């Protein structure tokens, strides 16, 4: 029988996913989960028929250009594809797929958790009690006051699957939904969410109380929340980001929070991961998480299954369900 296709996976995946990959493919797994260097990935692409990278791998022009002609598919374990040079892949006739849909609800949950946690000082209170429980003198009426979110305005940047899932949750918490997107969503969705569309991001930013970034990182969204735009926010506003750090000018955000020109932030992603701006880490008014919005046991298995379906469909000669078209980004 024909040899099994070589599928190189750059990180450890859930056991059930790895077992299934071993059954179906000549799977070269990274069971020790040691991140691969650019050199190791370049070497791997000399023999791989399929590469399964994650957001931590830079599949750039240099790496793709040196791949052997047998490389036909890059099946990303993740929804964001800013780790892959899509144009170079397309020019070499390499198909790219991702894992949309299966991490929508988990990511929206974490976004909502940050929308609640930051204004209500949840992390600060929990840390205080852990540290001072012996000397805690008790509650007092003017102590640890946060800000109400009920009735406030949430401005969502990027009204795709995740943005809409955030809007549904936020509406149930009494927030008024505002959004900016490349195009308006359908009237049905706008009506369901009672959402207000802002063609002008600048105008939306001057009016909202909380901003949530839910758009992909693309050349067009790099520093979309630029220094100039961050300064349009009210000093009482909060910024939440579960998308990609690159969408926000992180240095300026840190500076404005320190200066009291922005009230606080809930950040799961950073501009230079795994490095995090120390001003952000040390601020009481920031909840910083280590890129974990899609990190559920269930979600990781679903993502792995999606990767497998994409590979299998492609190798069977059909269009994979989650093919990424460069024009989408």
Residues that bind ligand 8YV (CB under 6 A): 54-55, 77-80, 103, 291, 294
Q: What angle do CA 6, 90, 86 make, to 5 degrees?
A: 90
Catalytic residue among 178, 217, 244, 285: 244
Q: Could you tell me the smallest distance in angstroms from the CB atom of residue 145 to ligand 8YV?
A: 34
Q: How many Å apart are CA 85 and CA 274, to the nearest integer?
A: 20
Taking the chain, what is the end-to-end CA distance rounded to the nearest angstrom?
40
Nearest CA among 325, 213, 206 for reference residue 271: 213
Catalytic residue among 153, 291, 305, 323: 291
Nearest CA among 34, 81, 28 for reference residue 51: 28
Q: Which is nearer to ligand 8YV, 181 or 242 (CB)?
A: 242
Catalytic residue among 18, 192, 273, 305: 273
Q: Which is nearer to ligand 8YV, 172 or 297 (CB)?
A: 297
Q: Which is nearer to ligand 8YV, 227 or 292 (CB)?
A: 292
Q: Is there a catalytic annotation at residue 291?
A: yes
Q: Which is nearer to ligand 8YV, 80 or 158 (CB)?
A: 80
**Residues shown for the chain:** 329
Q: How many CA atoms lie within 13 A of 320 on its CB side?
A: 27
Q: Could you tell me the smallest distance in angstroms from the CB atom of residue 102 to ligand 8YV?
A: 9
The two structure tokens encoding residue 62: 């240099």
Neighbour-count burial of 313, counting CB atoms closer than 10 A to its CB (0-12 exposed, 13-18 middle, 19+ buried) = middle
Q: Could you tell me the smallest distance in angstroms from the CB atom of residue 79 to ligand 8YV?
A: 4
Q: Which is nearer to ligand 8YV, 108 or 149 (CB)?
A: 108
Question: CA 204 → CA 175, 232, 263, distances in Å?
Answer: 15, 9, 17
Q: Which is nearer to ligand 8YV, 58 or 291 (CB)?
A: 291
Strands 210-213 and 153-157: parallel
The rounded radius of gyration (Å) of the Cα atoms in the chain is 22
Q: Could you tell me the smallest distance in angstroms from the CB atom of residue 137 to ligand 8YV?
A: 41
Q: Could you tell me the smallest distance in angstroms from the CB atom of residue 77 to ligand 8YV?
A: 5
Task: Give 28's strand partners.
Answer: 8
Contact call for residues 197 and 190 (beta carbons, < 8 A): yes
Q: Could you tell me the smallest distance in angstroms from the CB atom of residue 56 to ligand 8YV?
A: 7
* CB-based burial, 103-121: b 16+ in 10 Å, e otherwise: bbbbbbbbbbbbbbbbbbb
Indicate the residue whose CB is closest to ligand 8YV: 78
- DSSP classification of residue 134: G
Q: How many Å apart are CA 248 and CA 273, to the nearest integer?
A: 13
Would you name the residues annotated as active-site residues? 244, 273, 291
């Amino acid at each position: 029988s024909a040899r099994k296709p070589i599928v190189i996976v750059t990180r450890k995946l859930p056991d059930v996913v790895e077992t299934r990959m071993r059954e179906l493919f000549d799977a070269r797994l990274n069971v020790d989960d040691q991140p691969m260097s650019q050199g190791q990935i370049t070497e791997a692409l000399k023999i791989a028929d399929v590469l399964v990278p994650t957001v931590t791998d830079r599949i750039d022009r240099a790496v793709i250009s040196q791949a052997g002609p047998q490389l036909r598919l890059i099946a990303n374990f993740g929804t964001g594809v800013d780790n892959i040079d899509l144009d170079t892949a397309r020019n070499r006739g390499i198909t790219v797929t991702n894992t949309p849909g299966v991490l929508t609800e988990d990511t929206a949950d974490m976004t909502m958790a940050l929308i609640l946690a930051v204004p209500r000082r949840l992390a600060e209170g929990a840390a205080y009690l852990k540290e001072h429980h012996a000397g805690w003198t008790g509650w007092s009426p003017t102590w640890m006051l946060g800000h109400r979110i009920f009735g406030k305005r949430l401005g969502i940047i990027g009204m795709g699957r995740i943005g809409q899932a955030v809007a549904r949750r936020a509406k149930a918490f009494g927030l008024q939904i505002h959004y900016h997107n490349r195009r308006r969503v359908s009237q049905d969705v706008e009506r369901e969410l009672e959402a207000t569309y802002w063609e002008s991001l600048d105008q939306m930013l001057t009016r909202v109380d909380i901003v949530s970034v839910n758009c992909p990182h693309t050349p067009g969204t790099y520093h979309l929340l630029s220094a100039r735009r961050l300064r349009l926010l009210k000093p009482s506003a909060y910024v939440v980001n579960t998308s990609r750090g690159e969408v926000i000018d992180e240095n300026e955000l840190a500076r404005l929070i320190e200066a009291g020109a922005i009230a606080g932030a809930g950040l799961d992603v950073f501009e230079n991961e795994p490095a995090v701006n120390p001003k952000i880490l040390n601020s009481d008014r920031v909840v910083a998480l280590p890129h974990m919005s899609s990190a559920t046991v269930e979600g990781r298995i679903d993502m792995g299954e999606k990767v497998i379906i994409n590979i299998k469909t492609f190798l069977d000669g059909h269009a994979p369900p989650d093919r990424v078209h460069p024009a989408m980004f």
